[in-house]
Amino acid sequence: MTAFVVAAAATVVIVLVLLMRPYFGRLGPGESSRAQLNAAIYRDQFARLEQDLAEGTLGQADHAQAKAELQRRVLEDTAVQDQKTAVVGVPRRTMIGVGLAVPVAAGAFYLLIGTPAAMDPMATQAAAAGHGQLSNPQEFERMVTALAEKLEKDPSNAKGWAMLARSYKAMGRAPEAQKAFERAGAAIEDDPEMLASYADVVASNAGTLAGKATQLIDKALAVDPNHPMSLWLKGTAHFEQKNYQQAVRTWEKLVAMLPAGSDDVRMLEGAISDARAKGGLPPGAVAAAAPAGANVKGVVELDPALKAKAGPDDVVMVIARRPGTRMPLAVLRKRAADLPLQFTLDDSLSMDPNSRLSSVAEIEVEARISKTGLARQEAGDLLSTAQTVKLGANGVALRVAKVVQ
C-alpha cells in the first residue's frame, strides 16, 4: 500500500507542476518603480532624436525644440513623488485552488471507479487465499481472522462476507462458511460460482443436497445453465434421489463441455457408469430416442466487419427457444476460433429433460458471441438475427452482424 500511495502522490505533484508552470516565472517582486519605467522611455526618445539629427531627417531647430520639450517633461516627472505601478502578479488564489482541487478530484475518482479494497492487505490476502494462492496456512488463518473481526465492525459489507465465506470454505470450516454466505446476501445472487459454493457448503453441513442446497443449485443454473460446478452438483442431487436417468443426462451434458480425456471427464464417466448400473440403464441409452429428423442444422458465420471484436476464446452460443419466449430449449457452446461453425441442435443439448427440443414443431434460433459466456445477454456481445424455423430444418444460416448496446 505504501508504494501505491507514494506513486499516487508523485503523480499528483507532477500534474500540479505541469498545470502551474506558466505562473512560476511571476514569483518575483510584484511591483516596479514608475520613475524607472519612465526613465527608460526617455532614454530611448533622446537616443532617437540624436539618431534623426545625425541622419539628417531632423533639422537643428526642430531637434533643439524637441530636446527642450523632453527635458521639460523629465523635470516635471522628477518633481512628482515616485509612484508604484503594479505589474501583473501571481494568481495565488488560483494556484491554491488548483493545488487543492487536483488531489481531491483524483481521490474521488479513485473511490468511484478504482478498487480501494485492494489497498487493504487483509482483504487482498484473504481473497488470494480463497483462490489457493497463499502457501502459509498460519498466515492465511491470521488474515481470515482479521477479516472476520473487521466485518463484525462493518456488517453491511456484503462483498466482504462473500470473501470471508469463500476463505472459510477453503479452510474446510463449513459451518462458519455457511453463516458468512448467509450474511453475503445480494452480493452473490447473480454469481453462479458463489451460489454453487454456497450449495456445496450447505450440503456438507446438512449431509444432503436435498432442500436448500438444491434451491441454490437451481438458482445458479438459472443464472448460467452451463455452469460446470452447478451441473456436477445437480447431477449428484439426482443421483442422491435415485433419479439415475436424470443424473446421467446432466453429467453427460457436463462431459460434452469439458476437454476430452481430462481427469474430470474420466471421473464423470465413472460416475455415469455407476448411475447406469444402479438405474439399470443400458450403455448410451438414457431415454427414448428422439424422432428421426428432430434437429436443426446450419452454420454460424461472423460478419467480417466485426472480426476485430471477437477473440479466439470468446464463447459462441447457438440458442434454440420456443418462438416468443426467452428460456432456451437447447444451447450449443463453442469457441470463436471454430468459426465459421457447422452446428446441429438436438435433444442431447436440451436444457430440461421435460422440455426437449423434439417436443416442439418449430423453434427460434440465434447465435451470440460472448466474452464471459454467461447465459444472459450483455452489452458488447455480438448477435445474429433470430430466425424461426421448422424442426428438421437444414442449412440455417446465422450471420453474427450486430453488437449488443
Concatenate the DSSP letters of all residues of 21-72 into one string. Answer: HHHHTT-S-SEEEHHHHHHHHHHHHHHHHHHHHHHTSS-HHHHHHHHHHHHH
Domain-embedded: residue 49: yes
* Under 8 Å between Cβ of 188 and 194: yes
Residue 282 has pLDDT above 80, yes or no: no
Highest-scoring range by mean pLDDT, 26-40, 282-296, 363-377: 363-377
Answer whether residue 53 is part of any domain. yes
**pLDDT at site 238:** 92
Report the distance separating Cα 129 and Cα 135, nearest Å: 8
Q: Which residues contact 172 (CB under 8 A, 6 or more apart)?
A: none
172-177, long-range: CB within 8 Å, 24+ apart, which pairs? 174/201, 174/204, 174/205, 175/205, 177/201
Provide the pLDDT for residue 111.
54
Task: Please name the residue ranges forming H helices in 114-157.
Answer: 121-130, 137-153
> Is residue 286 domain-resident?
no
pLDDT of residue 400: 96
The reported pLDDT for the residue numbered 164 is 84
Give the CA count within 13 Å in the CB-facing half-sphere of 255.
18
Count of domains forming the chain: 3
**pLDDT for the residue numbered 16:** 67
Distance in angstroms (rounded) separating the CA atoms of residues 158 and 168: 15
Instruction: Count CB-CB contacts under 10 A for residue 388.
Output: 13
Provide the pLDDT for residue 285: 46
pLDDT higher at 11 or 321: 321
223 and 106 fall within a common domain: no
Q: Can you name the residues that pair with 301 across neighbouring β-strands?
A: 399
pLDDT for position 345: 93
- Lowest-confidence region among 47-61, 108-122, 174-188, 310-324: 108-122
Q: What is the pLDDT of residue 363?
A: 93
| Confidence check: pLDDT of 327 > 50 | yes
User: Region 155-184: what's the mean pLDDT?
Assistant: 86
Q: Tell me, yes or no, whether 171 and 193 share the same domain.
A: yes
User: Domain range spanning residue 147?
Assistant: 119-279
The cell for 5 is: 500511495
104 and 128 belong to one structural domain: no
Q: What is the pLDDT of residues 43-98, one digit of tens each?
A: 777 777 777 777 777 677 776 777 777 677 666 666 554 444 444 455 666 666 66
Give the 3-state secondary structure of residue 169.
helix
Same domain, 18 and 92: yes
65 & 198 share domain: no
More confident residue, 128 or 334: 334
Q: What is the pLDDT, as a whole number, of residue 43? A: 74
pLDDT value of position 151: 86
Distances (CA, A) of 227 to 53, 154, 186, 374, 375: 100, 32, 19, 9, 9
Q: How many angstroms separate the CA atoms of 227 and 374, rounded?
A: 9
221 in any annotated domain? yes
Name residue, grid cell 450486430.
402
For residue 74, give the DSSP letter.
H
Least confident of 122-126, 307-311, 346-350, 365-369: 122-126
Nearest to 139 by CA among 152, 128, 150: 128
Average pLDDT over residues 192-197: 91
Give the pLDDT of residue 403: 95
Of residues 276 and 355, more confidence is placed in 276
Stretch among 78-82, 268-272, 393-397 having the lowest mean pLDDT: 78-82
Predicted confidence (pLDDT) per residue in 102-158, tens digit: 676 666 555 555 555 445 444 444 444 444 444 456 776 788 888 888 888 888 888
What pLDDT does residue 97 have?
66
* Claim to verify: residue 127 and residue 257 sit in the same structural domain: yes
Same domain, residue pair 142 and 266 = yes
Give the closest residue to 66 by CA, choosing from 81, 46, 82, 84. 46
> Is 258 domain-assigned?
yes
The residue out of 76, 97, 113 marking a domain boundary is: 113
Q: Which residue has the higher pLDDT, 288 or 144?
A: 144
On whether both 165 and 41 belong to a single domain, the answer is no
DSSP state of 340: S
Q: Are residues 329 and 385 in the same domain?
A: yes
Q: Taking residues 174-200, what's their average pLDDT? A: 88
Tell me what pLDDT residue 368 has.
95
Lowest mean pLDDT of 14-23, 112-121, 341-350, name the range.
112-121
Do 224 and 252 lie in one domain? The reply is yes
**In this predicted model, which residue has the larger pLDDT, 284 or 211?**
211
Q: Is residue 290 part of a domain?
A: no
Within 10 angstroms of residue 84's Cβ, the number of other Cβ atoms is 11
Last residue of a domain, one of 254, 279, 304: 279
- Checking if the pLDDT of 344 tops 60, the result is yes
For the chain, the residue count is: 405
Indicate whether 250 and 343 sit together in one domain.
no
Whether 242 and 324 share a structural domain: no
CA distances from residue 347 to 131, 253, 286 in whole angstroms, order as listed: 36, 11, 11
Q: 284 in a domain, yes or no? A: no
Residue 285 domain flag:
no
CB atoms within 10 A of CB 36: 10
pLDDT at 122: 47
* Mean pLDDT calculated for residue range 259-275: 83
Task: Using alpha carbons, list the distances in angstroms from residue 174 to 129, 165, 180, 194, 252.
Answer: 16, 9, 10, 14, 29
Mean pLDDT, to the nearest integer, of 198-209? 90
343: CATH = 2.60.40
How much of the chain is helix, strand and coil, in % rounded to 5? 55, 15, 30
Residue 286 has pLDDT above 60, yes or no: no
Positive or negative, the CA dihedral 328, 331, 335, 339 is: negative
Give CA–CA dist 318/22, Å, rounded: 60
pLDDT value for 153: 86
Which pLDDT does position 4 carry in this prediction? Answer: 61
**CATH number of 129's domain:** 1.25.40.10
pLDDT tops 70 at residue 250: yes
Instruction: Give Cβ neighbours of residue 243 (< 8 Å, ≥ 6 apart).
Output: none
Percent of the chain with pLDDT over 90: 26
Q: Which of 88, 113, 138 is the last residue of a domain?
A: 113
